Amino acid sequence: EPEVTQTPSHQVTQMGQEVILRCVPISNHLYFYWYRQILGQKVEFLVSFYNNEISEKSEIFDDQFSVERPDGSNFTLKIRSTKLEDSAMYFCASSVVGQGGTEAFFGQGTRLTVV
């Protein structure tokens, strides 16, 4: 069964450092997403991406964040200068189409710890 894969599973970084979280979406999917889940809180939408550009982003997704599809298979989330409050589980997801009503498949997540 096709699945979304994320690397690394756990990333520890110093405050102020840049991190890149990587995702390989399901191959025939066209819409890609990043969500985050701070420990004990709900899963929050960060950004959606289609046709090599951001289609929607939340207020959390400020100038410190960026996304990129550097090649035909990877989808990355970059945090330029990490803060302690960026510590969370980050989930990548993909779907065939973006309109509401289409199943989104989630990766297993990357736990980011900022120290």
CA separation for the pair 54, 48 (Å, rounded): 6
Q: What angle do CA 28, 31, 35 make, to 5 degrees?
A: 125
Preceding amide of 25 cis, omega within 30: no
Question: Which residue, 23 or 79, is less far from another protein as judged by CB?
Answer: 23
Question: Which residue, 17 or 113, is less far from another protein as judged by CB?
Answer: 113
Question: Which residue, 19 or 61, is less far from another protein as judged by CB?
Answer: 61
For the CB of residue 38, give the shortest distance to another protein in the complex, in Å.
12
Instruction: Please say whether the dihedral angle defined by the alpha carbons of residues 22, 15, 56 and 58, taken in this order, is positive or negative.
Output: positive
For the CB of residue 100, give the shortest distance to another protein in the complex, in Å.
4
For the CB of residue 10, give the shortest distance to another protein in the complex, in Å.
10
Give Cα separations from 40 to 34, 87, 113 (angstroms). Answer: 18, 12, 15
Residues near another protein (CB under 8 A):
4, 6, 31, 33, 35, 41-45, 48, 55-56, 91, 95, 97-109
For the CB of residue 85, give the shortest distance to another protein in the complex, in Å.
19
Question: Which residue, 14 or 40, is less far from another protein as judged by CB?
Answer: 40
84 DSSP assignment: G
